[in-house]
Amino acid sequence: MTLKSFFEGARDGRLTAVRCTACGGLAIPPKEFCPACGKRGWQAAPLSGSGTIASYTVIRVAPRKFAPEAPYALAQVRLAEGVSILGRIVDVPLDRLAIGLAVKFHPLVRGDQTGIAFGPA
Amino acid sequence: MRRVAVIGVGVTKFGRHDRSSGELFAEAAVEALADAELEPSAIQALYYGNVVGGETEKQLHCGPQAASILGITGVPTTRFETACASSHAAFRHAVMEVGAGISDIVMVGGGERVLNVPTEDSTEYFAYASDAIWEQPLGLTFPGVFALVARAHMHKHGTTEEQMAAVAVKNHRHGTLNPKAQFRKEITLEQVMTSAKVADPLKLYDCCPFSDGGAAVILASEDVARSRKRAVWVLGSSAASDWMLIGDKPDLSRVLATERAAAAAYRQAGLGPQDVDVVELHDCFTIAEIVATEGLGLFEPGMGGVAAEKGWTSLGGKVPVNPSGGLKAKGHPIGATGAAQVAEIVTQLRGEAGPRQVGGAKTGLVHTLGGNTATVVVSVLGRE
């Protein structure tokens, strides 16, 4: 899976990991070698997009190009399949953020850019 | 490996300067050469740390530039960039060069200038140390990384914002004793707790400042150092990495690179955390100090916050941490920080730290963390 195909899928609402054909380990984003077994054989593994917040923050002092969006929430999200990824949290009031909160993948589309985000489950 | 010693140190005052990073390094290098009683022609290689020179000063190729400003040429020079750990990574590689017998006298230094650009820009440049495809486009900042660490630590161990604030209060108190510190004013717990939010739960006074500054240390082989009474020996110097992406880190309440680098450095030194008398560690944020004291084995996991609150890490406490004021009060010119931390521990082990001296310190530890917790360098130093 290339970065381009990952983000094209994400734009259409599909979050995709890769599964090691040797040991079954999952990786998102893809890696060349499996961190678990060292083999290099992968197949695409669509994820449900469901997960829970493992840790979170609200960015209030932002880099220049993100300043108009502040404050905004970022979280490490533990996906149902066991892998984790960083994403924006959208459509959740900032005072409702909590570790363990259930969230669902939600592409963050800005022009031709697609980012990882999660909204309410 | 041959034994390696530090025989000279120099640091500038940290803070706002109207000089380039190369000039700031050179000021520190002149001080280090005088401290070592050496002519510049004695230097056989320069290992140099600089991080955002390309952005703030439009300057790459900083190694030969720094050497040229100092007035030496011909020797190999290399710029190291491992985010905030840059000049400590440079130090480790210089130790290997001297230890391997390639050179007898090597200079390690660093310089950084960031206060010449607005905060929104420096915030962006520092964020370049996170992943450009997966993290920067989400608006992740450097305080944001440690805010995620803080939340995870609070959730797992019950660490409180007041315990984090205690780190800031302690390091500012230590900073009042360091004439080269950027901030030399005590602050109160209430000031920390009511300061502006930066990245929840981190507030302004949980964060180290942006700083300009330079630092330099001189390494020498045993043959050169043996006769020098003020030599401080490098007993161990090790580095480790962790996954670059936040998503790949299995437990944000720990910094695995710290645990790995510390284990290797202790093994090289034949010592353990119980042997350490004084520590300079990477308190880029208050939570970073708490997690580092645990990762270095100074306290059990979950006890780092308690240690700060109870004064165990204060001057006069069980294990004084950051007597210089740390990054928090001394300042954090990122490319110079590692070398400056080494300089402080050398000064402590020589017994020359004046009012901030840790009495009888014989073994010291330096811990420097790069950016998003993916790089850590740990060195253990000792006097005979």
Query: Does A33 contact B at CB distance below 8 Å?
Result: no
Q: How many CB atoms lie within 10 A of CB B25?
A: 37
Instruction: Give pLDDT, residue A60.
Output: 97
Of B84, B207, B208, B284, which is the active-site residue? B84
Contact B10, B216 (CB under 8 A): yes
Query: Does A83 contact B at CB distance below 8 Å?
Result: yes
CATH 2.40.50.840 fits A3-120, yes or no: yes
Residue-wise pLDDT tens digits, B247-257:
999 999 999 99
Q: At what angle do helices B86-99 and B337-350 cross, to 10 degrees?
A: 60
Query: What SS3 class is residue B368?
Result: strand
Q: Which residues of A touch B200 (CB under 8 A)?
A: 57-58, 60
Instruction: Give pLDDT, residue B252.
Output: 98
What is the mean predicted confidence (pLDDT) over B373-381? 98
Q: How far is B287 from chain A (nearest CA, A)?
A: 14
In the chain, the amino acid numbered B179 is P
How many domains is chain B built from?
1
Three-state secondary structure string covering B257-278: HHHHHHHHHHHHHCCCHHHCCE
Point out the residue among B127, B135, B150 whose CB comes nearest to the CB of A86: B135
Determine whether the interchain pair A57/B199 forms a contact, defined as Cβ–Cβ distance below 8 Å. Answer: yes
Instruction: Give pLDDT, residue B120.
Output: 86
> For residue A54, what are the CA distances in angstroms to A77, A120, B303?
5, 15, 21
Contact A99, B181 (CB under 8 A): no
Residue-wise pLDDT tens digits, B108-129:
999 999 999 998 899 899 999 9
Point out the residue among B123, B248, B252 whose CB comes nearest to the CB of A55: B252
Give the whole-number percent of chain B exceeding pLDDT 90.
Answer: 98
Query: What SS3 class is residue B68?
Result: helix
What is the mean predicted confidence (pLDDT) over B57-75? 97
- Residue A1 scores a pLDDT above 90: no
Residue-wise pLDDT tens digits, B305-334:
999 999 999 999 999 999 999 999 999 999
Q: How far is B144 from chain A (nearest CA, A)?
A: 6
Instruction: Give pLDDT, residue A4.
Output: 93
pTM score, whole prediction: 0.98
| A13/B109 Cα distance (integer angstroms) | 49
> Two tokens at B114?
């960031």
Give the whole-number percent of chain A exceeding pLDDT 70.
Answer: 100
Determine whether the interchain pair B247/A69 forms a contact, defined as Cβ–Cβ distance below 8 Å. Answer: no
Q: Report if residue B202 sits inside a domain.
A: no
Residue-wise pLDDT tens digits, A93-108:
999 999 999 999 999 9
Q: What is the CATH number of the domain that holds B69?
A: 3.40.47.10
- Residue A79 scores a pLDDT above 90: yes
Determine whether the interchain pair A57/B151 forms a contact, defined as Cβ–Cβ distance below 8 Å. Answer: yes
Point out the residue among B137, B151, B196 whose CB comes nearest to the CB of A56: B151
| Cα B167 → chain centroid | 16
What is the mean predicted confidence (pLDDT) over A22-36? 96
Q: Report if residue B197 sits inside a domain.
A: no
> For residue B357, what are the CA distances in angstroms to A70, B83, B316, B349?
43, 29, 10, 9
Query: What SS3 class is residue B175?
Result: helix
> Two tokens at B139?
């608006």
Q: Report if residue B175 sits inside a domain.
A: no
| B44/B33 Cα distance (integer angstroms) | 13
Q: Report if residue B130 sits inside a domain.
A: no
Domain, as residue range, for B21: 4-117+209-378
What is the mean predicted confidence (pLDDT) over B266-286? 98
Contact A41, A9 (CB under 8 A): no
Determine whether the interchain pair B134/A116 forms a contact, defined as Cβ–Cβ distance below 8 Å. Answer: yes
Instruction: Give pLDDT, residue B384.
Output: 81
| Catalytic annotation present for B84 | yes
| Catalytic annotation present for B155 | no
> For residue B223, what are the CA distances in angstroms to B96, B230, B341, B374?
16, 14, 25, 36
